[in-house]
Chain A
Amino acid sequence: MTPTFLPAGGDPAGRDHLADERLVDLALSVPAAESEEAHLAGCGFCRDELAALRRTVVVTRQAATVELVAPPADLWSSIEAGLEDADAVEVVPEVVPLRRHAPARQGAPTSATRRRPPLGWLVAACAAGALVGAGGIVAAQRLGEEQPASPRTLATAELDTLDTEQRLGTATVSEQADAVTLEVSASNLDRSGSAYVEVWLLNRDGKRMVSVGVLQDGASAATFPISQRLLDEGYVVVDLSREQFDDKPQHSGDSIVRGSLTAPA
């Protein structure tokens, strides 16, 4: 049977690779054709994919002996009791890095009912032991609780095009062990005519701004170190612009997308 070589979606170089179906076969110990062996010998991408599939097979076999145990019948009522306090949305949600290599968010459903509280609300809500920066975006502390060293989301923003208000991405400010970072994730950016795309934090006063870094060609996400001080000072609008190699460090005025950071809760 002729082996099938198809361009795999995940390889940035776009070279030919073994088709998903063949990799699955090989993971299930179907013998490989000579040409497939040869390809695997020279292709790290396919070797990694095959290894991941083989590992999945192994863990699936182990999973066969796992018996799932349902919680006791009365547990739901204790969850409901816990929700009474959680209806007023909390300032510090659990933050979960769901994938190590998160794909760019394309076509994610936008909830019409998703409300973002105005920043002023945050100041009023900080009676629950949170530390408030002047900008209203807080690195809150849960008093009296253990502090696990896991990242906390301080704020998020939808990145929308200025004219059509099409959502092309999101920005997330996180804090972990006192380091604050801004992660920008966007796809289908119109980079035409630009030499590079620059990421800015604009001040809400509409006058000042700082450059945070450059979004590399071909990258759909990047993480930049920033400071709590920037947020406190009001630099809370994320902006991506088309820039030229013109030795002018100022913002070109040509923004692709923009969004205001608000607490995610």
Chain B
Amino acid sequence: MSDELPALGDPELMARVCADDRDALAEAYRRFGALVHTLATRSVGSHHDAEDITQQVFVALWRSRRSLDPAAGSLAGWLATVTRRRCADHHAARARRERDEQAVAAVASRGTTGTRPEDATERVVLAHELQALGDPRATIIRMAILEDRRQQDIADALGLPLGTVKSHIRRGLLDLRNRLEEVTA
């Protein structure tokens, strides 16, 4: 029974978790553990705290499983949003401690990026989405967006019909846009 889990689409996986399937939770961890951990590491900096947050987010997913609704959004979006909240709570708690202890640094370190936490979430989530894409779409998207190649060139290079390439680009970019919308603060 657990052999089929890796092949399940995300909405179906979400439905399984909702239906109390612990194996489905393990599969969700396998798929999205790196996403959550990367988001946490970039936000809080400390590996120990990032691991704590990762653990808490997946426990929270299990706790909230009955309210999961595939029609309302994706597992990746849910996890990214909860992770961001936990990181924000972490920063707020640390700021309060530092203020109480009259520490010098007033602003808690936001990790290594030095940019807004919201921007980091979006980049990491899309990085996850790109990595999760199968081929040929992953390659087509990379060639179109990262290498700026024209659709006809991509079709020629991959030996695919132009219509197929156009379709993958369209669907791929729209899916990325939808995911981005879910996690844009």
Q: A residues touching B (Cβ–Cβ < 8 Å)?
A: 20-21, 24, 27-29, 52-53, 55-57, 59-64, 66-72, 75-76, 78-79, 82-83, 86, 89-90, 93-100, 102-103, 105-109, 111-114, 146, 148, 150, 153, 156, 264-265
Contact = CB atoms under 8 A, between A and B. Distances in A.
Given A83-B62, A93-B67, A96-B78, A102 B72 contact: yes
B99 interface: no
A206 B14 CA distance: 36
A60 B29 CA distance: 24
Interface in B94-139: 119, 122-124, 126-131
Given A66-B124, A94-B60, A94-B64, A99 B182 contact: yes
Given A59-B180, A68-B131, A90-B63, A28 B38 contact: no
B150 to A, nearest CB: 8
Interface centre among A61, A69, A83, A146, by most chain B C-beta atoms within 10 angstroms, is A69
State which size class the interface on B falls in: 35 or more
A107 B77 CA distance: 20
Contacts of A64: 127, 130, 142, 146
B181 A68 contact: no
A113 B18 CA distance: 9
Contact of A52 (B123, B127, B181): B181
B14 to A, nearest CB: 9
Interface in B142-168: 142, 144-146, 148, 166
A60 B67 contact: no
SS class, residues of chain B in contact with chain A = helix
Contacts of B128: 68
Contacts of A107: 71
B38 A66 contact: yes
Contacts of B92: 146, 148
Contacts of A60: 126, 130, 141, 145-146, 176
Contacts of B45: none
Given A68-B124, A148-B85, A75 B169 contact: no
Contact of A264 (B66, B142, B173, B177): B66
B87 to A, nearest CB: 11
A67 B122 CA distance: 13
Contact of B38 (A68, A76, A148): A68
Given A69-B37, A82-B55, A146-B92, A93 B66 contact: yes
Interface string B12-46: 00010011101001100100011111100100000
19 contacts: A21-B166, A28-B144, A28-B145, A56-B173, A59-B123, A60-B126, A60-B130, A70-B37, A82-B58, A83-B62, A86-B63, A89-B66, A94-B82, A94-B85, A109-B11, A114-B66, A146-B93, A148-B85, A265-B67
